[in-house]
Amino acid sequence: MNMDSLIGRLITLLFALMLLPFFVSLGLQVICTLFQILLSFLLALLPWLILIAFAVGAGAALTMRRRLPRRNGNYFPPGGAQPIHRPRDPRRDFD
């Protein structure tokens, strides 16, 4: 291996190591700027999305209220709610 090529590689390595912080900070700045743009865009749309969701929900509620039959206050069948019967387990005799 020639001494000139070793010195040339060493100088290239030092030059790359000197420029590495610049390129890392440049990349981080680009990523942060893109994130800020995306976040500001979403925050600008969020109130409108909430308003649209509220309007759609209110419209669906009114539609369902019109289509469902009215209740007259009798929520249970005549005679009250039916008692719940558990099936008996044949292995348990103490019930």
**Residue 94 and residue 88 in contact, taking contact as beta carbons nearer than 8 Å:** no
The pLDDT assigned to 88 comes to 72
User: For residue 75, what pLDDT band results from cuts at 50, 70 and 90?
Assistant: low
DSSP 7-26: HHHHHHHHHHHHHHHHHHHH
pLDDT tens-digit map of 6-53: 888 999 999 999 999 999 999 999 999 999 999 999 999 999 999 999
For the record, the structure tokens of 26 come out as: 């440049």
d(CA 17, CA 11): 10
For the record, the structure tokens of 24 come out as: 């890392």
**Confidence (pTM):** 0.48
The pLDDT assigned to 14 comes to 93
d(CA 89, CA 91): 5
d(CA 26, CA 32): 10
For the record, the structure tokens of 95 come out as: 């019930």
